[in-house]
Homo-oligomer: A and B are copies of this chain.
């Protein structure tokens, strides 16, 4: 019933986020799927970078970066920024993406990305084959037309149309439909267990 595939990373879907480092006048973009939430107090994001990356050099120098969530129509630009190095190419120019001034840090955001986070480096951790940079999220921004029409602070995922990345197959996907909300299941399962007389 199960087939072994050997040692591999088959964790998916993960984000395909665009990380901007450097300054407004000399910014660089890199696409990172080795990224995740690392804490909530303060909110923090961790990104994993190869030791050789130009972005690592810029982040170490300036101590800040932005995390930008591309919409599905930016799949080509997202892919490109993960393939070429900022040592050789000016990726904002190549892709036509627009740098947008951050409010609390020097590294700019990407205007075309619907969701943006400004991050200040909190910690650097040496790992086996990458460097983990943890950034405190000091400000977030969202396109005004991508929030709920009633609650203007609530993100509307359908309007953002984020990309999801599957490293195992090297494919970019869209999201489909919402199938649940956190804490919706607890009462249902508890009720079922009670019915079954199976309460612990």
A contacts, CB < 8 Å to B? 1-15, 17, 33-46, 48, 67, 69, 72, 75-77, 79-80, 82-84, 88-90, 93-95, 100, 103, 111, 115-117, 122-123, 125, 127-130, 132, 134, 136-144, 147, 152-155, 157, 162-164, 166-186, 188-189, 193, 198, 200
Question: Assuming A37-B48, A127-B134, A152-B3, is B15 touching A80 (CB within 8 A)?
Answer: no
Q: When the two chains form their complex, are residues B186 and A181 in contact, meaning their CB atoms are under 8 A apart?
A: no
A179 touching B172, Cβ below 8 Å: yes
Q: How many copies does the complex hold?
A: 2
A141 to B7, CA, bound (A): 9
Q: Is the CB of A5 within 8 A of B178?
A: no
CA distance A95 to B143 in the complex (A): 39
